Amino acid sequence: MHRLLYICQTVLHVLLLIVIGLWLDVSLVSATVQSDPPDLSVYESWLREAFAAAQRGDRIGLEEVAGRLTAVTAVRFPDGTVVPVDNAWLRAALALPAPDLAGIGAHLGALIDALAQPPSSAPADALDRLERILDAPPFNRPTFEPPQWLIDALDWLAQVIETITRPVGTVAPLATNVVAWIIILVGVALLLAVIIYLAINVRRGIVRDARIATEGDDHVPTASEAFDQASVLAHNGDYRAAVRSLYLSALLWLDEQNLLRYDRALTNREHLERAQRHPDLLRRLKPVIETFDQVWYGHAPVDAALFAAYRQQIETLRREMGAKRI
């Protein structure tokens, strides 16, 4: 009996030694794995293996590769840099009763995409360069400061308002005194009247200046005066302006003959559109307008010969359209 007990104790001791030895081996292997991080290519292959398992819904295959991923605490990049990693999220996700394999696959796919991104080409001093650029013109422009005359005008307006409302506090409480309200309304009305008066005078001055400028812009009341002015301009060598006066004389002559109403606000193309009701007029007026557009807007070269030809063109238009009316 004692011998049997001795044998059993011996067996238990041997088994205990075996278990302790296996535990030490596992610990040494684990320590070796932790001290020697995998290369980036190996780590990426594990991620792709786990991603494929999650995509096909293979929970067993995913848990197998997840054990390797969760045991990794760092990855060695090709340049020798060791980067720490933490995949504890994968262990927590698989510990759920019903793991979301689609969500796990999306997370793994994002990690794979992030590893595939090229390294940044920005220099180390990129932020310092940006700061220097922003500190230099035109980015370091000072904040806007209103001119002194605007500040003075606002101060004057504040003084006027203060002068108007000052009697209100000396008469009686505002809510119960009618006189206070009357003083305020009269003062506001006077102030608005002054502002409106100034605005009207400014507007009148602008309109008057614009009218003077418009009336002084080669205003020719009759077709004959425009035609004579073209001759004077050509004699002085200003053939471009002479062509414009000839064209203006043609439009004024058509207006005087009640063939086409001349309107300074219309474009040349709009004059042609109005002439479509008269085919003969449209056929003769179109080349006149095209020549003027080339000279005036297209800046085509013009000399005495071109001016003479254009003058003959205008005279032909007037002669033929006059004969049509007869």
Q: Which of 93, 94, 102 is nearest to 56 (CA)?
A: 102
What Cα–Cα distance (Å) separates residue 123 from each residue in 119, 126, 129, 262? Answer: 11, 5, 9, 68
pLDDT higher than 50, residue 174: no
Find out whether 65 and 53 touch, Cβ atoms under 8 Å: yes
Q: What pLDDT does residue 193 have? A: 81
pLDDT higher than 50, residue 105: yes
Positive or negative: CA dihedral 20, 22, 25, 27: negative
Q: What is the mean pLDDT of residues 298-311?
A: 90
Q: Which of 287, 293, 312 is nearest to 234 (CA)?
A: 312
Residues 6+ apart with CB under 8 A from 287: 313
pLDDT band at 26 (very low <50, low <70, confident <90, very high): very low
Q: What pLDDT does residue 233 have? A: 92
pLDDT higher than 70, residue 300: yes
pTM as predicted = 0.35
List, for residues 194-234, the tens digit of each pLDDT value: 788 776 765 555 544 444 444 444 454 588 898 899 999 99
Looking at per-residue pLDDT, the higher value among 253 and 36 belongs to 253
Positive or negative: CA dihedral 162, 164, 169, 175: negative
Find out whether 46 and 65 touch, Cβ atoms under 8 Å: yes
Q: What pLDDT does residue 136 have? A: 67
Rounded to whole angstroms, the maximal C-alpha distance in the chain is 155
pLDDT higher than 50, residue 177: yes
Q: Which of 231, 243, 230 is nearest to 293 (CA)?
A: 243
Task: Output the DSSP codes for 55-91.
Answer: HTT-HHHHHHHHHHHHH--EEE-TTS-EEE---HHHH
Lowest mean pLDDT among 52-66, 72-86, 136-150: 136-150
Q: What is the mean pLDDT of residues 136-153?
A: 66
Looking at per-residue pLDDT, the higher value among 177 and 53 belongs to 53
Find out whether 257 and 322 touch, Cβ atoms under 8 Å: yes
Q: What's the mean pLDDT when you consider all of the chain?
A: 75
List, for residues 115-132, the tens digit of each pLDDT value: 776 655 556 676 777 777
List, for residues 238-289, the tens digit of each pLDDT value: 999 999 999 999 999 988 988 888 888 888 888 888 888 888 888 888 889 9
Q: What is the mean pLDDT of residues 35-63?
A: 87
Q: What is the mean pLDDT of residues 79-103?
A: 88
- Residue 236 has φ and ψ, to the nearest 5°, of -85, 0
Q: What pLDDT does residue 216 have? A: 45
pLDDT higher than 50, residue 11: no
Task: Output the DSSP codes for 211-231.
Answer: HHHHHTTT---SHHHHHHHHH
Would you give the DSSP letter of residue 276? Answer: G
pLDDT band at 236 (very low <50, low <70, confident <90, very high): very high
Give the percent of the chain with pLDDT over 70. 67
In the block, residue with structure tokens 């848990």: 63
Residues in the chain: 326
Count, in order, helices (H) and strands (E) of the chain.
Answer: 13, 2
